[in-house]
Amino acid sequence: MVSEMINTELVIPTLNPIFAQRNSFRAMSDYPELWELLDSVYDPELPGLTLWDLGVLQDIQVDEQQVLVIITPTYSGCPAVDMMSQDVITALNAANYDDVRVKVTLAPAWCTDMISPAGKQQLANLHIAPPNKDDDPDCPVCHSKNTQLLSQFGSTACKALYTCQDCLETFDYFKTL
Ligand SMILES: [Zn+2]
């Protein structure tokens, strides 16, 4: 399909290299139906962001009848990992994959470049900045670096409340702990 090829060439260079790598890794998987099933699994704390969009879902392998799903949590110390694992198992069980194991790996470490473009858009909609190494968040709405801490505690204990000096929006920032 010619139109699809042209489209891909236009889109790929605009992706950051880390997400582009994730994207092509997923595209080469032998189990596209499993990736699609897991597109229905959302981060328990970020409405509208799937584990894929957030960059948490890293790999899906199948050995005999067992499905192995590999996830990498964000820096956040929120106890979301257990919930994510359970949601992955529930989603696959519902599609008759009965033997599912979730492995949590910290290497390579999660980073914000793993977030999909759709995920970044949704974070902006939610006014949430993802965790970053230096605890120095950019504004998720206008991407300004000119941000200021308002309160150590945002909408939950693991988030802090910031304001953007440029667009004047307030936003939640996921603390790295
Ligand atoms: Zn801003």
pLDDT in tens, 43-54: 988 889 999 999
pLDDT of residue 1: 47
Q: Rounded to the nearest whole angstrom, what is the distance from the C-alpha of residue 117 to the centroid of ligand 1?
A: 18
Question: What is the average pLDDT across 90-96?
Answer: 98
User: What does the pLDDT look like over 56-76, one tens digit per residue?
Assistant: 999 999 999 999 999 998 865
Q: Rounded to the nearest whole angstrom, what is the distance from the C-alpha of residue 144 to the centroid of ligand 1?
A: 5
Residue 136 has pLDDT above 50, yes or no: yes
Ranges for all domains in the chain classified under CATH 3.30.300.130: 2-113
- State the architecture of 2-113 in CATH terms: 2-Layer Sandwich (3.30)
Q: Rounded to the nearest whole angstrom, what is the distance from the C-alpha of residue 136 to the centroid of ligand 1?
A: 14
Residues, Cβ < 5 Å to ion ligand 1: 139, 141-142, 144, 164, 166-167
| Ranges of H-type helices in 12-111 | 17-27, 32-38, 51-54, 80-94
pLDDT of residue 76: 57
Q: Rounded to the nearest whole angstrom, what is the distance from the C-alpha of residue 138 to the centroid of ligand 1?
A: 8
